[in-house]
Amino acid sequence: MANRTPVWDISQVEKVQASKNFNANTTNQKPTSSSKLHNLRNGQINVQTYYDIYIFEERLKQNLLQIKKIQRNYRIITLVWATFFSYFLWCFVTYKNSSAIINQENGEILGYKRNKIYTVCLLITSSIGLYYLITGKIQRKLNGPSRFTQQCNKTLKPFNLQFHGDHKYRLSFYRRIPRRFVEGYILFVTELKKRSKLKKEMQNKKE
């Protein structure tokens, strides 16, 4: 189990070491589609393998961000529902805007008749809350990011990868992946981002 612990975190490996250990001759080899998985498991350095991992990492990040956006929307919905439910419940309990029942003979107040509008609104909000509570839809949406991360890591474990669902949104490699492969990947991603940034700057200048 000790060998399964992720120790090659991308954010912790020095880029200087990556540039020293990265071999351009080996990275220029183009793999076949059947050899990509073999390259990843055995730590063989390959540009196409690096690119596939990078694209896969970006897709995981985008999917998780989308799930977190849904989670945030459902939190707002839950807060709005709780506000309305609390207000209508308070109106129901305190007889707000209720009409008094008066004895016609002596003018004595016999009681109060609840406002039907608040009663109906309370029933509606209660029914909505009960529906989402029974179906578990709210809970699934609120726990979406953690469930997504757990499912990803369960699937990625055989490939010696782990996805971090926190603010990093990164893949880390298990110890079975050689450090040289990880360092090469970091250098590849760094250069790729530099080129992308430079390309955007050139496009902005043209505009």
pLDDT along the chain (207 residues), means of 10: 49 44 42 46 67 92 94 94 92 70 58 75 92 89 92 91 83 86 87 86 78
Token look-up 């690119």 returns 51
Measured from the Cβ of residue 84, the count of other Cβ atoms closer than 10 Å reads 16
Identify which of 55, 61, 41, 14 has the alpha carbon closest to the alpha carbon of residue 159: 41
Under DSSP, the state recorded for 31 is P
Q: How far is CA 69 from CA 72, 79, 155, 166, in A?
A: 5, 15, 23, 14
* Total-model pTM: 0.67
92 vs 121: CA distance, rounded Å:
10
23 vs 180: CA distance, rounded Å:
9
Domain tally, the chain: 1
Please give the residue range of the domain that contains residue 75.
2-206
Residue 117, pLDDT score? 82
Rg (CA), the chain: 29
Q: How far is CA 90 from CA 62, 96, 114, 119, in A?
A: 42, 8, 12, 11
Q: How far is CA 183 from CA 3, 14, 31, in A?
A: 19, 8, 19
98 vs 100: CA distance, rounded Å:
7
Q: Are strands 161-163 and 171-174 parallel, antiparallel or unpaired?
A: antiparallel
Residue 81, pLDDT score? 95
Token look-up 């209508």 returns 88
Is-contact 21 13, C-beta < 8 A? no
Phi/psi zone of residue 100: left (φ > 0), alpha (ψ -120 to 50 degrees), beta? beta
Sign of CA dihedral 9, 14, 15, 19: negative
141 vs 77: CA distance, rounded Å:
11
